[in-house]
Amino acid sequence: MGTIYILLCTFGIFLVVNVPVAFSMTLACILALLWQGAIPISTVTLKLYSGIDTFPFLAIPLFILAGGFMEQGGISQRLIQFAKNLVGHIRGGLGFVVVVAEIFFSGISGSSIADASAIGSLLLPSMAKAGYTPPRAAAIVAAATGMGMLIPPCLNMVVLGAMANISIAGLFMGGFLPGFLMAATLMIVIYIQSVKGILPGAEGKRASLRSIMASFRDSVIPLMMPVIIFGGIFSGIFTATEAASVATIYAFIVSVFVYKEITLKDVEKTLVDTAILTGVVCLLVGAASGFSWILATHQVPNILGNFIGSVSEGRAVFLILTIALFLFFGMILDGLPAILIFFPILYPIAISLGIHPIHFGVLVIAVVGISNVAPPIGLCLVIICSLARISLTDTIRPLIPYISILVIDLVVIAFWPWLILFLPNLFKL
């Protein structure tokens, strides 16, 4: 076990001194193999490549590019205006708008960071004018962003499905009902707080039917992208990877030729940003592949499985431990690295306990989504606080009710598999 100690200790040390996660994993793998001596270091290079050498991973840059085009093409403002017209008049006002806008936008962008940046930059100033304190406004945007990861398409679902050979279409469909559950419970909390006077009341009068239809017409083109993606996948016309290609072409046409809000310079910037983010994701996936391979060759999954079995023979403790593990490490490592490191270890244990692959995958995605906005160091929470120009500690207290209800939702998702599996089973995914 000396190799594993070297691997984990060096990885932890590199993280403490702020070495990026991908480089920390790669350097830890190299030092562990040097310690072991029997395996050439070139194995790390092979694992870096083989970890991303699968067809489904082609969907990653394509979904990132499609989301970039839609974000740059004036889509956010149209979707938010539609959300305001739908629910802005209800008690809870802009808090409801944030949640509904996140449902719309997350199904297009595929990225929690894009959601946090777009919705935060557009709605935080409006919420401040409506009487929301900056910490309370940031907390609502953060909670909605955490929920939004379950609304497909989701990059983490693509990575997880490709890595574990789980149906990506099944993960997409399995995320809908849990996502709507979290959205509904968040809106209930916002409504109760509004009734108690913690939050401001309604945002203006009820929009006229004409205004709603006008904003819907402005939004119907971007809202058609998820319809095209899922309609094509579930009808068997194309795979999830091919759907990403169709989504990219559609987003480009809408942003450049329909709305005409993207110039050639914007296209160049979007391509560069996509290349950078794709490189980051692929480096993480490759590094985690080598890291997980060393753990697997030294029987760490079996050891962990035996430990969990000694604690409890049932699913309950395993699911609770899974939620706790990904909540904690999702904050420290960020969501995707936590998935890449721990999911390959826990997944065989989940299967041995009779947990459905799609159920376990969607549960992990849900936990990671919340960890991204959980204090004290959730990545999306940091972004939102910077947009709101407040310190991260200011949001901790107002965020507690929202994080608490989302964690309760996690428990429901964990112990009620039907909520996840109903739609995948209905479509036979």
- 5 plus 124 within the same structural domain: no
- 197 plus 279 within the same structural domain: yes
* pLDDT at residue 140 in the model: 92
270 φ, ψ (degrees, to nearest 5):
-65, -40
Angle in degrees, 0-180, between the axes of helices 357-371 and 155-164, rounded to the nearest 10 = 140
Domain boundary among 50, 73, 91: 50
- 129 plus 250 within the same structural domain: yes
Q: Which of 419, 345, 341 is nearest to 28 (CA)?
A: 341
Half-sphere exposure of 406 (CA within 13 A, CB side): 33
- 178 plus 149 within the same structural domain: yes
* pLDDT at residue 106 in the model: 75
- 112 plus 21 within the same structural domain: no
What letter does residue 314 receive in the DSSP assignment? S
- Outline where 196-263 has alpha helix (H): 209-234, 240-253
Binned at pLDDT 50, 70 and 90, residue 376 comes out as: low
- 60 plus 46 within the same structural domain: no
Q: Which of 171, 175, 224 is nearest to 59 (CA)?
A: 171
Domain count, the chain: 2
For residues 383, 385, 391, 397, the Cα torsion angle rounded to the nearest 10 degrees is -120
Give the separation between CA 147 and CA 387, rounded to whole angstroms: 19
- 160 plus 120 within the same structural domain: yes
Structural domain including 229 reads 55-426
Q: Which of 392, 383, 394 is nearest to 118 (CA)?
A: 383
Q: Among 38-52, 239-253, 255-269, 283-297, where is mean pLDDT lowest? A: 38-52
- 362 plus 392 within the same structural domain: yes
* pLDDT at residue 31 in the model: 87
Give the separation between CA 74 and CA 298, rounded to whole angstroms: 51
- 310 plus 347 within the same structural domain: yes
List pLDDT tens digits, range 216-260: 888 888 778 777 777 777 777 877 778 778 888 888 888 888 877
**Over 70: is that where the pLDDT of 312 sits?**
no
Q: Which of 413, 404, 304, 415 is nearest to 365 (CA)?
A: 413
Q: Which of 427, 36, 73, 54 is nearest to 231 (CA)?
A: 427
Percent share of the chain, pLDDT over 70: 90
Residue 236 burial by Cβ neighbours in a 10 Å radius (0-12, 13-18, 19+)? exposed
**Over 90: is that where the pLDDT of 360 sits?**
yes
Contact indicator for 360, 145 with CB cutoff of 8 Å: no
Amino acid at 91: R
List pLDDT tens digits, range 8-28: 888 888 878 878 777 888 888
Contact indicator for 37, 267 with CB cutoff of 8 Å: no
- 366 plus 397 within the same structural domain: yes
Rounded alpha-carbon distances, angstroms, from residue 267 to 107, 164, 280, 420: 21, 33, 20, 37
Binned at pLDDT 50, 70 and 90, residue 111 comes out as: low
List pLDDT tens digits, range 219-230: 888 778 777 777
What letter does residue 208 receive in the DSSP assignment? P
Q: Looking at per-residue confidence, does 236 or 393 come out higher?
A: 393
* pLDDT at residue 410 in the model: 94
**Over 70: is that where the pLDDT of 203 sits?**
no
- 108 plus 253 within the same structural domain: yes
**Over 90: is that where the pLDDT of 412 sits?**
yes
List pLDDT tens digits, range 66-94: 777 877 777 767 777 788 788 777 776 78
What letter does residue 392 receive in the DSSP assignment? G
Q: Which of 32, 409, 410 is nearest to 188 (CA)?
A: 409
- 68 plus 19 within the same structural domain: no
Tokens of 47: 């694992």
The structure's pTM equals 0.82
